[in-house]
Structure formats: structure tokens, C-alpha cells
Amino acid sequence: MTDRRAYGGRGATGVWLVGARGSLAATTIAGAAALRAGLVRPTGCVTARRELASLDLPRFDDLVFGGHDIAGPGLPRRVEELAERGVMPPGLPRLVRDELLAAEEEIRTGATGGDGGRDQRETILTLADDLVAFRRRWGLDRVVVVNVASPDPVPPPHPAHASLPALRKALAAGENVLPDSALYACAALRADCPYVDFTPSAALRLPAVRELAAERGMPYAGRAGRSGETLLTSVPVSVPAFARRAPAARSGSGPSAAGGSGGSGGWRTARDEMSFEGFLGTRMTLRLAWRGCESVLAAPLVLDLARLMALADRAGVRGPVRELAFFFEDPVPDDPADADRASLAEQYAALVAWAHGLRVPV
């Protein structure tokens, strides 16, 4: 096992992954270990780009991983499976095995729907205790919680979702009114951890959860991280160079995907198509397709978000971090329409300006 003295301590940042044995989490943890060992370059990491590389972000060496999950093989076996599918080099699981074992030891049992008869208030307290213990065990400056689990079903409307007092009253009465994703979000906020929802879950859409973030003074961001298929969905096929030619769009088929699911870590193919009318009324079609692995595309963004949210927490940022909209297909600022109106280039410029404008104590 990895010697604990090699990690943690002053300046270290915890990254707590909800869904810690899933393909995305496993790729993220293995990738961070490979970066720490100098085995790979930070390809795909936005924070490694020239505009952001000078920021005082946590180093990849400073990231300590743990998480919640309810089932699945251990991290070493999960990473071996991914290597067998061609998601990562075949020799990598052996080279980072110690780091995977160390992270596996920090995975705790997560929420499981009814959760063995415990009421949801008790579940939130238990999940929060796991985070506090992780921070103390490793002597971490802070812990960023990132939800990379499969999205849960949209919960039916309930009066307890509308406000924090109503939610507390319902939980005190033993009512189970929250989806699992909201249990994790509430636990993170209660433990004073910045929270990122990388999946399209319902948690941050609930006013009561956002009120809890405001009460605790914690930053949060999400939802639906842009990786492969979601990036194709969110970026119009009429890219600027094409749009400037002024064709008349007639119809769009919308993105479609085939192949292994993102949850399996498999390869996927996504396509988009747009029909348009050119000069002299000639009808034409633009087709766009990509083939890639969702977990490989998303893992560097998870590392980016963990590093940037740690920086935001150091700077005392509170509430929704709108400037991280660049990373999400469906961001959760107070006014989502504002994010939707901004182009990807405008969102990136806003991200860079925000990050460099943070006043971080020395």
C-alpha cells in the first residue's frame, strides 16, 4: 500500500468522488496517479493550458482520493478492466497499483435508496462524518466532493424541496423526500466541502439544497459535464467558420449515440446532422461524428473542476460558481438562461478572467 506520509499534510486537497468505483472515477484516479508519477502528460486538462497554468492550483501531487460507492469491483480490478477495453495503456494498472489501493481504502459505503432502514437525516449525517474523518485522517486543507455517479431519477415534486426549513422539518419527521444525489450534496455542504455535480442529477435544482449551500457559505457547480457526446450536444454544428458563410438552416436531426455506455467506460460514437440551403436554393447536409471514450474525455475535466473549486474555496467564493459554466452542458447558476446565451469561447474567456481575478490568501 502507498505510505500515507507520501501524501496529505499541509497544502493537500482531498477529492471525494461519489461513484468512486465507476469507470469515470477509476479513470480519474488512475490518471492522477500517472500524472503524479510522470508517466503521462496532462492532455485534456483545461487547467494545464497556457492561460490557466500559472494559477496557484493544487498540484496533481497534492490530490488525495476517496469516495462513496455501493458496489462494484475494487479500484485495481476496475482499472484493469478499463485497460483490457483499450481505455488506457495495458501496463498502467500495475504501475499505479499502490495509489489505487490507497484510494480503495478510502471508499465508504454510500446511500442506497432506502439505505437499510435508516432515515435520510441519519444517512446525511453518516455521509458527512465520512468526509470529516477523511479530511482529518489525511490532514487535508479542504475536500472537494464531485458527483460522478450515474444520474438518479428525477424525484417527484415535494413541498420539502422548496425551502431549507421545509426540508429540515420533513427529515426530522422521518420522511424520505430526497433523491440519493441530494443526500450526497447535503452531506458535502454539511461537512463544509465544495460540491460539484458532474452528472445531470436533481440535487442542485432543489431550492432547499441551494439554501443549505448559502447557509454554509460553500461554493457549488454543475450539472452534466461536457465531455464527448454532451459536448457535441451543446456546441452547434454551425461552427463560426461555417456560420459566417450564411447558409439557411432547414432542419437538424439532433445528436444520436451508439456503442458502449459512458458508465461502462466503453467507446461511443455520436453523430449530429443539419440540413441547410445554399446559393440558388441548393439543399445540402452537414454531418458531424466522433468516436471516443467518455471516461477518458471526462476524467481530466473532473481533475480540472476539483482543482478550480479548491482554488475558489481558498478565495472564499460562495454560492453558484457561474464562471465554471464552460465545463457543463446544463450549468446551475441562478439564471441558467445567461449561461445558455454565452458561446463556448465566451464561457472560456469568463473562466480565465474569473480564475485570475480570485484573491487567494498566501
The domains located in the chain, with CATH, are 4-225+296-357 (3.40.50.720), 235-293 (no CATH)
The C-alpha cell at 65 is 482520493
Q: Looking at residues 232-256, what average pLDDT do you find?
A: 52
Which string of DSSP letters, residue by residue, matches 28-73? Answer: HHHHHHHHHTTSS--TT-GGGSTTTTTS-PPPGGGEEEEEEESSS-
Continuous segment of H or E residues that includes residue 131:
helix 120-138
Lowest mean pLDDT among 62-76, 138-152, 166-180, 220-234: 220-234
Q: How far apart are the first and last CA of the chain?
A: 33
Q: How far apart are CA 182 and CA 37, in angstroms?
A: 35
Whether the CB-CB separation of 308 and 47 falls below 8 Å is answered with yes
Return the pLDDT at 74: 94
- Nearest CA among 241, 161, 240, 164 for reference residue 206: 161
Q: Which residues are paired to 288 by β-bridges?
A: 272
pLDDT digits (tens, 9 = 90+) for 320-359: 999 999 999 888 755 544 545 678 889 999 999 999 999 9
Q: How far apart are CA 61 and CA 73, in angstroms?
A: 26
Q: How far apart are CA 286 and CA 297, in angstroms?
A: 24
CA dist 315 → 57, 72, 311, 354, 355 (Å): 11, 37, 6, 11, 10
Q: Where are the alpha helices (DSSP H) in 315-343?
A: 336-341
Q: How far apart are CA 205 and CA 158, in angstroms?
A: 13
Continuous segment of H or E residues that includes residue 145:
strand 142-147
Whether the CB-CB separation of 194 and 309 falls below 8 Å is answered with yes
Q: Looking at residues 53-80, what average pLDDT do you find?
A: 94
Whether the CB-CB separation of 165 and 35 falls below 8 Å is answered with no
Return the pLDDT at 118: 75
Whether the CB-CB separation of 204 and 220 falls below 8 Å is answered with yes
Under the banding of pLDDT at 50, 70 and 90, the label for residue 134 is: very high
pLDDT digits (tens, 9 = 90+) for 247-264: 565 555 555 555 444 445
Whether the CB-CB separation of 198 and 147 falls below 8 Å is answered with yes
Continuous segment of H or E residues that includes residue 275:
strand 267-277
Under the banding of pLDDT at 50, 70 and 90, the label for residue 289 is: confident
Under the banding of pLDDT at 50, 70 and 90, the label for residue 172 is: very high
Which string of DSSP letters, residue by residue, matches 176-245? Answer: --S-HHHHHHHHHHHTT--EEE-S--SGGGSHHHHHHHHHHT-EEEESSB-SSHHHHHHS-SS-HHHHTT
